Amino acid sequence: MPPVVGITAYRERVAYGVWDQHVAMVPGTYPDAVVAAGGVPVLLPAAPGVEAAVDRIDALVLAGGPDVDPARYGAAPHPATGAPRPERDAAETATLHRALARGIPVLGVCRGAQVLNVALGGTLVQHVPDAVGHTGHNPSPGVFAPTTVALTPGSRVAAALGTAATVLCHHHQALDRLADGLTVTGRAADGLVEAVELAGHPFVVGVQWHPEEDATDHRLMDELVRAVRAASSGGAAGTPRPGRRDRPA
């Protein structure tokens, strides 16, 4: 049976057809990338109790999106920080902790990497240009910037992409103080953290770039799905874990 991959969803007001209302959504590139890697995508809306769905999935993708509330890491908001989305912060934090407790593979994308760091006790740079002196990681709204990253040999990201890769970035925030257990496994040329991994878990990876936006390169999502299959069989990528609950036929 193909691995079921949960993707955390946005809650946004959207106009479509004759409707203008709040919807639970993700960009179509996320489920497309999961399907291309051989998985079955399932959306996880930002709703109370959604973390229970983790017991029925095989891997978790924390999607990109708006800024994490600085109050979650004890900081006052920067003028450039977006309005908080407390319902999404709470839902994704609970979902992540449930996934870590189960030991299933996790991939955090952009905001998802930041959620991973903050949920485990780290902090964020609230406006990247203040730290690196340029806007290259987020050149303009809706534009993904090609960025070269150096990846640590032996890491999960290097296993997928090699020790250097050109990736697509769109982020004005980034990881600052790392949470305990996280290790930097990728940096941009300006020193900004672009990838982290969590020790003690077979596959918990956060990347600041958007692997789902590259329609011709699904290697990182492939690695996520491969980790599910290896963990299920007790292979090298992980240890056996309890299977998801049986579903009715």
For residue 113, the tally of other CB atoms under 10 A from its CB is 28
**Rounded to whole angstroms, what are the CA distances from 28 to 10, 33, 36, 173, 240?**
12, 9, 12, 23, 31
Cα–Cα distance measured from residue 10 to residue 48, given in angstroms and rounded to the nearest whole number: 14
Residue range 22-40: average pLDDT? 96
Is residue 107's pLDDT more than 90? yes
**Rounded to whole angstroms, what are the CA distances from 33 to 29, 36, 212, 234?**
6, 5, 6, 25
Q: Which phi and psi angles does 93 have, rounded to 5°?
A: -65, -45
- pLDDT score recorded for residue 246: 41
Is residue 216's pLDDT more than 50? yes
| Residues linked to residue 59 through DSSP beta bridges, in sequence order | 5
Q: Which phi and psi angles does 233 have, rounded to 5°?
A: -100, 0
- pLDDT score recorded for residue 248: 35
pTM of the model: 0.93
> Helix, strand, or coil here: 122?
coil
- pLDDT score recorded for residue 218: 93
pLDDT grade for 31, boundaries at 50, 70 and 90: very high
Q: Kindly state the tokens that stand for 167.
A: 């990736």
Residues annotated as part of the active site: 110, 210, 212
Q: Which phi and psi angles does 198 have, rounded to 5°?
A: -100, 125
Is residue 109's pLDDT more than 50? yes
pLDDT grade for 231, boundaries at 50, 70 and 90: confident
Chain segment 173-192, per-residue pLDDT in tens: 999 999 999 999 999 999 99
The residue among 239 and 174 whose pLDDT is bigger is 174
Chain segment 111-164, per-residue pLDDT in tens: 999 999 999 999 999 999 999 999 999 999 999 999 999 999 999 999 999 999
pLDDT grade for 249, boundaries at 50, 70 and 90: very low
Domains parsed from the chain with CATH numbers:
4-233 (3.40.50.880)
The most distant pair of C-alpha atoms in the chain lies apart, rounded to whole Å, by 57
